[in-house]
Copies of this chain bind each other. A is one copy, B any other.
Amino acid sequence: MTRRTGRRPGNPDTRESILTAARAAFAERGFDKASIRSIAGTAGVDPALVHHYFGTKDQLFLAAMNSPIDPRELLPEALAGGRDEFGERMIRLFLGVWDSPAGKAGIALLRSAVSSEWGARLMREFISSLVLRRALEHLDLDPAEAPLRGSLIASQLAGLAMIRYIVRLEPLASAPPETIVAAIGPTIQRYVTGPLGEGR
């Protein structure tokens, strides 16, 4: 799993002001409309300093959310087998992250999403702009269906995290990853490539 270690430049108070401004901007305006310039303005610093401290807008967003992973580093693994293997690869990747030490931070993110409106908005932006959009654009789906397919995938993965790691309902809580890949992989795959209105 990828963990953002490395140097953390700058004054801690300034860093925190930037992160607070970033959380507000991303939650209120969404990932696309929030700009580094306006975030810097709110925090009372120069935009160059935001880039210097946090890097790209993606990286600032991940830092503001306390995300333990960078989806851009992981998605290529899920996408490597093309559309027909996406279901199985995605679920295996998801379990790999959540079963690792990064899973603890994942639980914290879910808690935050459920306990506050801002947390929910940041989670929405994270799922839609940083994960789904980037995954789906590589899968060459019908643009009219892609958003529904993406949110269906999110529903199965979010629920798996809830039931396996938070509610800890057995046997899903302690099932080996391969059991879950075999059971849920086909669900994700149908959400990507299958009919969405079977029997209708």
A residues sitting closer than 8 Å to B (CB atoms) are: 110-111, 113-115, 120, 123-124, 127-128, 147-148, 151-152, 154-164, 166-173, 175, 179, 182-187, 190-191, 196-200
Contact = CB atoms under 8 A, between A and B. Distances in A.
A161 B167 CA distance: 14
Contacts of A175: 148
B120 A166 contact: yes
Given A120-B168, A155-B163, A156-B156, A148 B183 contact: yes
A154 to B, nearest CB: 5
Nearest to A188: B187
A113 B167 contact: yes
A147 B171 contact: yes
A182 B156 contact: no
The listed residue with most B CB atoms (<10 A of its CB), out of A113, A151, A170, is A151
Given A172-B148, A184-B155, A162 B114 contact: yes
B169 A154 contact: yes
A163 B158 contact: yes
Given A182-B196, A183-B196, A154 B159 contact: yes
A173 B152 CA distance: 11
10 contacts: A111-B114, A114-B162, A120-B166, A147-B171, A148-B172, A148-B175, A151-B173, A155-B163, A156-B156, A179-B196
Nearest to A148: B171
A115 B120 contact: no
Given A113-B167, A162-B162, A185-B198, 9 more contacts: A120-B168, A148-B179, A155-B163, A156-B159, A158-B167, A179-B196, A182-B199, A183-B191, A186-B190
A99 to B, nearest CB: 15
Contacts of A147: 170-171
A167 to B, nearest CB: 5
A184 to B, nearest CB: 7
